[in-house]
């Protein structure tokens, strides 16, 4: 592996136990949407943030003037569910230690998550002391799998993509890393198994993020 100057970490399923109730969030958004317009089947398979964006467009077409109301309420709903989830959640063993060790090795660290800041801070209140940049969805123009999310974090860390690695549990972490131009590392502590991360094109797959110092 080339010298790595910065590591970007996904949060849920990578540094913290996966505690986001995606099924409940999708259902809550679909239920809300049905108050504004009829809900087409093809929207039901979207990830929740994309579902809200698509819903806003639909409400605009079918019920113009109500789209911002829908959008705001949908975000309040999912933020509520995420924050409730993080109340029950906890960091994976070794998270603080690995971040500390990377700092001692002068490797910068960043968090790249689609989750909201309130949920992250609730679970990891001292995150700013351990990471050099925390880019939740509020702080990027487009979220993963769009590479802009990672490039925003790399910009904050003043590091080029080819000197950085993206670490995550979901195929979209790998996809986003590849498109941004980072080295990509899949971990098996969350959403995906080995095959899904390999098929997404991960350069390396390890059991857990806490093992990073051993492979750098
Ligand atoms: Mg994740």
Q: Tokens 């259902």 correspond to what residue?
A: 27
Bridge-based pairing of strands 183-187 and 108-112 is unpaired
Distance CA 40, CA 30 (A): 10
Tokens representing 90 are: 């906890």
Of 125, 144, 109, the residue nearest 9 (C-alpha): 109
pLDDT of residue 20: 85
Instruction: Please state, in angstroms and as integers, the Cα–Cα distance from residue 61 to each residue in 30, 38, 58, 66, 198, following that order.
Output: 17, 11, 5, 10, 40
Which residue stretches of the chain have pLDDT < 50? none
Helix, strand, coil percentages in the chain from 3-state DSSP, rounded to 5: 50, 15, 35
Determine the distance separating the centroid of ligand 1 and the alpha carbon of 210, expressed in angstroms.
15
Cα 29 to Cα 44: distance, rounded to the nearest angstrom: 10
pLDDT at residue 104, rounded to an integer = 95
Task: For residue 92, report the distance from its CA to the centre of ligand 1, in Å.
Answer: 12
Separation of CA 1 and ligand 1 centre (Å): 23
18 alpha carbon – ligand 1 mean position (Å): 7
Radius of gyration of the chain (CA): 18
Q: Please report the pLDDT score of residue 2 as a whole number.
A: 61
* Cα 195 from Cα 167, distance rounded (Å): 16
- What's the gap in Å between 152 CA and the centre of ligand 1? 18
Residue whose entry in the numeric block shows the structure tokens 């857990």: 208
Write down the pLDDT at residue 1. Answer: 53
What is the distance between the alpha carbons of residues 96 and 210, in angstroms, rounded to a whole number?
A: 9
pLDDT in tens, 33-91: 999 999 999 999 899 999 999 999 999 999 999 999 999 999 999 999 999 999 999 99
């Amino acid at each position: 592996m080339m010298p790595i100057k910065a590591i970007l970490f996904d949060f849920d399923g990578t540094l913290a136990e996966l505690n986001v109730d995606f099924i409940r969030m999708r259902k809550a958004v679909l239920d809300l949407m049905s108050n504004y317009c009829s809900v087409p089947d093809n929207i039901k398979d979207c990830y929740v943030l994309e579902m809200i964006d698509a819903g806003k467009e639909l409400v605009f077409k079918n019920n113009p003037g109500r789209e911002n109301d829908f959008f705001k309420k949908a975000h309040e709903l999912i933020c509520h569910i995420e924050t409730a989830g993080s109340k029950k959640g906890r960091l994976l063993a070794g998270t603080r230690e690995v971040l500390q060790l990377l700092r001692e090795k002068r490797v910068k660290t960043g968090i790249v998550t689609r989750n909201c800041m309130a949920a992250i801070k609730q679970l990891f209140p001292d995150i700013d002391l351990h990471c050099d940049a925390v880019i939740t969805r509020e702080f990027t123009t487009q979220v993963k799998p769009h590479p802009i999310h990672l490039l925003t974090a790399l910009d904050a860390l003043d590091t080029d993509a080819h000197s950085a690695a993206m670490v995550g549990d979901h195929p979209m972490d790998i996809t986003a890393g590849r498109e941004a131009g980072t080295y990509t590392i899949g971990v098996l502590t969350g959403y995906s198994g080995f095959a899904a991360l390999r098929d997404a094109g991960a350069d390396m797959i390890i059991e857990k993020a806490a093992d990073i110092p051993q492979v750098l």
